[in-house]
Chain A
Amino acid sequence: DAGVIQSPRHEVTEMGQEVTLRCKLISGHNSLFWYRQTMMRGLELLIYFNNNVPIDDSGMPEDRFSAKMPNASFSTLKIQPSEPRDSAVYFCASSYFTTGMNTEAFFGQGTRLTVV
């Protein structure tokens, strides 16, 4: 397996534009996490899905952020409209979770987003 795959690796966009980040889970995994990393705040959880269902979206900053899992292996994180304070590295991670079993979480290489 190629691991968790994120695209694009780098994104530079102008304030007000829509940004879509993509993530492909490891085959067989059913848990999907989106994190944001900045120097000031470290790694922050944005949203967590299990079996395609959002379990915890309390970290989504505001209505400008939305995340979906259109199928069991793929997720998108959309920011509309983007703002300079959204500039950060966005990570996607996946693992397998069921009652009584919880595997390692594996991270993608991240998308470095710059909003100018």
Chain B
Amino acid sequence: GIQVEQSPPDLILQEGANSTLRCNFSDSVNNLQWFHQNPWGQLINLFYIPSGTKQNGRLSATTVATERYSLLYISSSQTTDSGVYFCAPRRISNFGNEKLTFGTGTRLTIIP
């Protein structure tokens, strides 16, 4: 199956700093989602981005499908940004369903 690697695995930043999280995947995909998992385990949809760049407030994402990677940018970090960030490429399974494969995650800690 598809392999999904995220980097860095852990990131500790001061409040106000900017960061770039990377997601590499080993095969072609139909789409890709970025999620933020908060300390309570809730998964928050951030972006649904098969290619190109999207922006939502302090966050933006870029997917270059032909080169099999996606980037998540977080600017002016806040303590509420802490948590684990997952990318999840989406492909058609052998059964004809679309399925997500979650990456290894980046654990982000923002220090006040």
Chain A partners chain B: no
